[in-house]
Amino acid sequence: MSEAFIKIDLHGLRQEEAVKVIDRALEKAGPSTYQIHLVHGYHRGTSLRTMIHDWYRYDDRIKRIMPGDNPGITVLILKELYA
């Protein structure tokens, strides 16, 4: 993947499935990939949001984890954007 921002829809996935999808995206992320936006939903997506924070908090490939534009999105920051 060579996009600067990758968006992945995790709706309907179990935690184990979501981890596989996220790991695959992290492995394929190219040097120009800055962020991965994980769309997990809000009302029934809180278990995925919690899993993302718990599972990837100490992953060396990720600089930090932050909320997206709405509560149903979590963003993995792979590289910082500097102005």
Averaged over 40-64, what is the pLDDT? Answer: 90
82 found inside a domain: no
**pLDDT recorded at residue 30:** 87
Domain that holds residue 11: 5-77
pLDDT of 44 strictly over 80: no
Residue 34: pLDDT above 50?
A: yes
CATH number at residue 23: 3.30.1370.110
Tens-digit pLDDT profile for residues 55-82: 999 999 999 999 999 999 999 999 987 7
Residue 29: count other Cβ atoms within 10 Å of its Cβ. Answer: 20
Task: State pTM to two decimals.
Answer: 0.90
Total structural domains in the chain?
A: 1
pLDDT computed for residue 83 by the predictor: 53
Sheet harboring 64-67: ordered strands across? 5-9, 35-39, 73-77, 64-67
